[in-house]
Amino acid sequence: MVRKVRIYPDPVLRKVAKPVEDLNGEVLNLAEDLVDTMLAYEGLGLSANQVGSLLRVIAVYKGEFTGREGEAQVLVNPEVVYYEGEDVDEEGCLSFPGLYFDVKRPYLAVVKALELRDGELVPVEITATGLYARVLQHEIDHINGVLYIDYLPPRERMRRLREWKEKRKQKLSV
């Protein structure tokens, strides 16, 4: 089922999600809904927070990195355990439609998680680089209550948010 993506400043976006203790119907439904919603909104990733759930679950559109259309990955309780390097690239976010800017992140990230595969949770350690690493870090930030706007200096963040809100107001009033 495609869920509504929460838009900033929805307070759920700033909350820290709780670890998943066991695989149950709620988690399986959330995982399926995350993938459906991510694909419907044409996103590269989506966190549970963004659809109003406070469980540590994210979905990533791996098709962008593997070339296999429709390939999605669902990770439960993911955490970055190592990172290195530096990469600056443009980021956007489904919770901030139309707001894009450069964000500096590590180029390489090692993520430990439980990957949902065929209804089972499989422990994985993912070594990701480039865009894949960026998307994983962005979504893991979400479940930690951190938003990509937090990487901007305070004055620039305020300015960009003010401009973004004004553009949204104009667009919504048309």
Q: What residues act catalytically?
A: 139
Looking at residue 125, its amino acid is E
Rounded-to-integer distance, Cα 10 and Cα 8, Å: 5
d(CA 2, CA 40): 7
The count of other CB atoms within 10 Å of the CB of residue 172 is 7
94's CB contacts (< 8 A; 6+ apart) are: 5, 38, 41, 43, 46, 50
| Contact between 111 and 118 (Cβ < 8 Å) | no
Contact of 18 with 56, CB cutoff 8 Å: yes
